Structure 1
Amino acid sequence: MTQWILILITIIMANVPWMFNDFLFIKKFPSYKKPFSWALLEVVILYFVTGGIALFTELKVVGHIHPQDWEFYTVTFFLFLVFSFPGFILKTLWK
């Protein structure tokens, strides 16, 4: 059950940059659209936030954090980008 909740949180967090025009709900942009570079920066920041949530969950459920190499983080980052694809399509191509 926990892994499905983590996947749902990841999908939601991956699409947040494309659904809202604020940068991390803090900075409002004067123009109608948030610049693409700010949205990408927000994707990277939310990837690390989601990773922190996953690490905390792993620590609480398993009792320790399994060590990972750089390949794991590369794959999870690109999976995070794949999860953000629906929001990107809605924001940039359909509007």
Structure 2
Amino acid sequence: MDIGAAAWLVILLALAGANLPFINDRLFAVVPLPRGAAANGKPAAKPFLVRLFELAVLFFAVGLVGRLLEGRIGTVFPQTWEFYAIAACLFVVLAFPGFVVRYLRKRH
């Protein structure tokens, strides 16, 4: 895989991984969570803290994929804390569309 394709793959994985916690109510889109009945008869939604935990785990998973792809291309360069801080901020920014759809969109 060439450098450009690997970069786009990591960007697309980051976009999908950042929005995954907000677009479904299953843990990592696979494991159904146990729920109690809500007041209106609908099942309760996944708690926000669980979504944040999922977001953090997916951030590290995408980072691992990026590191593995970098190793396949050539030398893996050492990164300092600034790189990880900027990458985490970018991951949160990529999660914004899913957050808007889940929490800020007006439901009719």
Does TM, scored on the shorter chain, surpass 0.5? yes
Question: Which residue number in structure 2 is paired with residue 7 of structure 1?
Answer: 11
**Identical pairs, percent:** 31
Q: When the two structures are aligned, how many residues end up with a matched partner? A: 94
Matched, 1:58 2:62: no
Report which of the two has the higher share of helix.
Answer: 1
Q: TM-score, normalised by structure 1?
A: 0.92
- Quote the RMSD (CA, aligned, Å): 1.2
Question: Which residue number in structure 1 is paired with residue 97 of structure 2?
Answer: 86
Gaps of 5+ in 2: 36-42
Question: Which residue number in structure 2 is paired with residue 28 of structure 1?
Answer: 33
Displacement of 1:81 in angstroms is 0.2
2:81 maps to amino acid = W
Which aligned segments of 4 or more residues in structure 1 are displaced greater than 6 angstroms? Answer: none
Gaps of 5+ in 1: none
Displacement of 1:29 in angstroms is 3.9
Structure with bigger gyration radius: 2
